[in-house]
Amino acid sequence: MLSSRRVPCCAVILLALSQLALAQYEHLGYPPGYPEPEQEQYSAPQLPPDTPRIQLRLAGDKRKHNEGRVEVFYNNEWGTVCDDDFNIHAAQVVCRELGYLEAVSWSPSSKYGKGQGPIWFDNLRCTGKEKTLALCPSNGIGVSDCKHSEDVGVVCSDKRIPGFKFINTLPNHNLDIRVEDVRIRAILSSYRKRIPVTEGYVEVKDGGKWKQICNSEWKELNSRVICGMFGFPGERKYNARVYKMFARRRKPLYWDYSVNCTGNEAHLSSCKLGQVTSVKSNGTCDGGLPVVVSCVPGRAFAPTPMSGFKKAFRHEQPLVRLRGGAIVGEGRVEVLKNGEWGTICDDDWSLLSATVVCRELGFGTAKEALSGGRLGQGMGPVHMNEVQCSGFEKSITECQFNKEALGCSHEEDAAVRCNVPAMGFQESLRLSGGRNPFEGRVEVLMERNGSLVWGTVCSDGWGTMEAMVVCRQLGLGFASNAFQETWYWPGEVSADSVVMSGVRCSGTEMSLSHCLHHGDHLSCPKGGGRNAAGVSCSETAPDLVLNPQVVEQTTYMEDRPMFMLQCAYEENCLASASVEAPANSYRRLLRFSSQIHNNGQSDFRPKAGRHAWVWHDCHRHYHSMEVFTLYDLFSLNGTKVAEGHKASFCLEDSECDEGIEKRYECANFGEQGITVGCWDTYRHDIDCQWIDITDLKPGDYIFQIVINPNFEVPETDYSNNVMKCRCRYDGHRVWMYSCHNGGSLSSETEQTFPGLLNNQVTHR
């Protein structure tokens, strides 16, 4: 009897543990291919007759379209809500009333700016189940002792309530548009097969049904907003006559309202509701036709007859670029001024300014304006501060801004996430067998013998760059690991066969199919299945950057006798000619310090675990990476004339920014790594921190340092892993000058380093 009673108890415990195990991955979301939890369907709220009739909107200084100051329309006047007693339950009621699935967070103290008019609600005490904010207990509508400095704001989820239907209980007074979804539906056969969809009917989903919008009051500014939402920088004219013929053949179903946009909105939900649409008895509207838009894609997404889609993303404008983002269309904003790239301070950074950047780079409007160095910290100057844009500028450099950036540090670097066209790349790739949606065996959908089949990727040569492309294609962030064996991840048995081999990526591709590969001529001696390629992805990654000023300021020469260089000789830190050098001879060493910062979003850790670190008895330390940095001297025509390398025998936090604690130190076989916001300093007086220039002839040279040269550890940006200096050696003295990181100068300035343009670092 006792054992039978224990069984239900054990089952309950196991069920609870399984729910906890799954809960740890809830914040990661559900990538394509994973079933989402069942969502409730929307039903229009049944309100008591005496309920005050209100409407809500999100206003103020937004950095996403689904956030803002809560404003309430009541008694023919817009007002705000006080933050006293406001909580996440009240935010839930607000977001649900606006048609969003749920609230993410809320903010007190007028984060989105001070509103105007009455403060309609104070001391709200919602349970989260109310159908409208007016049903929450409060001091009474209009009864408040608050000031507008206490206006509350909310952030709602991106997802809308399935089946949501907008019901206007009041006359139209500057209401924001609230619908379940929006799309551009390709109508003409010539556009139906195109990816991305650039032309068609504008349709809104309201009450679970897709409806067209009457074009009687439609303006070009409305089209500009729609195109921006779907990742296109602009709109163009289309052949209206063809659509008239189509509308006669198929009766449209019109939405109840027109749309009124100013043209600088980032999303349709920020546009105002227009007049009620007058639909005639025969189903036509005044003006007679559904709205059609035709959008202009950015160059990276535009098909060309010869080459198809642009295979590797290239930034279109020379004055602005994005750095540190996981996917195309997001990153830290950097601008070029006086030949040097710098960042933008996030003071007054808004969705309007972010949208100007996105359109300038060939994307659509901004999904989010990020602040506080959220996508990593830059290096170099802060070029712009307090940027103010109207939304119609062609470039962020045309916006008003404060040239003085006093008080701004790289901890305040502004960033953007842009709307990009839906290319459908996620549908031809999946991760299978992993413990969570962010890892697994890579399986691709390929055409074989006239049909599409799922299969694996050969892992020969599979590395970080290929894994980066996979994670980007699936929208899962950065690669954290690339695996050449996946026997521990049992994928789909039907997909064991290899369908792609010889994959080589540069790391900038939007899809794995854009990388070099063998095509139909497969070659994979070890086969797929347990030996197939795999990845694990992460939303964040480190970013190592060398401080060029430290190198420039600490360089000197030393003549050191061979008998004092035995350990360095054993670790291959001397020129090959030193093999025959007698013990009483000298080696001439070019010595310098290097200070390596982690400006990324996560700690830099060696790829190998401590069980795989190699003990070097001579120096009495462990190597966690066989090659951590390369040191090279090139002639002006790009020929390598001297070299050195340094294993990361000690990755640790030497110093950190204020407020950040050191986490890594090498003493006592400690954990190795570099914390975000910290740096590791290799002093000029330690072994291997040099280049052996004993046999170097006097002349002018290029000095180059490369960090993490084999891309063993994934980073957000590899372009800044290279540092170059001009170097002059006269046989007795050495000068190091014009030191700078890769990508920190304009291409014109970079050309003053002759011979190196064709000498870029590659991972093969």
The span from the CA of 692 to the CA of 554, in Å, is 16
Environment class of residue 621 by beta-carbon count within 10 Å: exposed (0-12), middle (13-18) or buried (19+)?
A: middle
In degrees rounded to 5, what are phi and psi of residue 232? -110, 135
- Name the residue with higher pLDDT: 561 or 745: 561
Q: Is 80 exceeded by the pLDDT of residue 475?
A: yes
What SS3 state is found at 258?
strand
State the pLDDT at residue 11: 52
The span from the CA of 231 to the CA of 645, in Å, is 45
Question: Please, what sign has the CA dihedral across residues 80, 82, 86, 88?
Answer: positive
In degrees rounded to 5, what are phi and psi of residue 92? -60, -45
State the pLDDT at residue 453: 92
Query: Token match 């190699």: residue?
Result: 614
pLDDT, tens digit (0-9, with 9 covering 90-100), for 313-332: 554 446 899 999 999 999 99
Q: Is 90 exceeded by the pLDDT of residue 589?
A: yes
State the pLDDT at residue 40: 54
pLDDT, tens digit (0-9, with 9 covering 90-100), for 178-232: 888 899 999 888 787 788 999 999 999 988 889 999 888 899 999 999 999 999 9
State the pLDDT at residue 762: 38
The span from the CA of 620 to the CA of 642, in Å, is 27
State the pLDDT at residue 577: 80
Q: What is the mean pLDDT of residues 555-572?
A: 86
pLDDT, tens digit (0-9, with 9 covering 90-100), for 613-635: 877 777 677 778 878 899 999 99
State the pLDDT at residue 23: 43
Q: Is 70 exceeded by the pLDDT of residue 36?
A: no
Question: By percentage, how much of the chain surpasses pLDDT 70?
Answer: 88
The span from the CA of 687 to the CA of 565, in Å, is 8
The span from the CA of 313 to the CA of 404, in Å, is 33
Q: What is the mean pLDDT of residues 546-571?
A: 89
Nearest CA among 175, 183, 170 for reference residue 269: 175
Extended beta strands in 149-271, E state? 153-156, 181-185, 199-206, 209-212, 234-236, 257-260
State the pLDDT at residue 597: 95
Q: What contacts 362, CB < 8 A, 6 or more positions away?
A: 233, 297, 298, 299, 300, 301, 316
State the pLDDT at residue 306: 38
Q: Is 90 exceeded by the pLDDT of residue 21?
A: no
DSSP state of 110: T
Q: Is 70 exceeded by the pLDDT of residue 1?
A: no
**How is residue 700 written in tokens?**
């002018």
State the pLDDT at residue 208: 85
**Average predicted confidence (pLDDT) for the chain:** 85
Residue 97 near residue 301 (C-beta atoms within 8 A): no
pLDDT, tens digit (0-9, with 9 covering 90-100), for 362-371: 999 999 999 9
DSSP state of 655: E
CA angle 727, 729, 732 (to 5 degrees): 145
Nearest CA among 246, 267, 148, 141 for reference residue 204: 267
> In the chain, what are the domains?
55-161 (3.10.250.10), 179-296 (3.10.250.10), 320-419 (3.10.250.10), 425-538 (3.10.250.10), 544-752 (no CATH)
Poorest-pLDDT segment among 9-18, 123-132, 153-162, 480-489: 9-18
pTM assigned to the model? 0.82
State the pLDDT at residue 317: 42
Q: What is the mean pLDDT of residues 15-26?
A: 46
In this structure, what is the dihedral angle of CA atoms 759, 760, 763, 764, given to the nearest 10 degrees? -30
Q: What is the mean pLDDT of residues 261-287?
A: 81
Question: By percentage, how much of the chain surpasses pLDDT 90?
Answer: 51
State the pLDDT at residue 152: 95
State the pLDDT at residue 44: 66
Using pLDDT thresholds of 50, 70 and 90, give the confidence band for residue 22: very low
Q: Is 90 exceeded by the pLDDT of residue 62?
A: no
State the pLDDT at residue 763: 39
In this structure, what is the dihedral angle of CA atoms 655, 656, 661, 666, given to the nearest 10 degrees? -40
The span from the CA of 112 to the CA of 66, in Å, is 12
Q: What is the mean pLDDT of residues 402-416?
A: 87
Query: β-strands 498-500, 451-457: how paired?
Result: parallel
**DSSP per residue over 341-409, as a string?**
EEEEB-TT--HHHHHHHHHHTT--SEEEEE-TTTT----S-EEEEEEE--S--SSGGGSEEES--TT--
Q: Is 60 exceeded by the pLDDT of residue 122?
A: yes
Q: Is 80 exceeded by the pLDDT of residue 761?
A: no
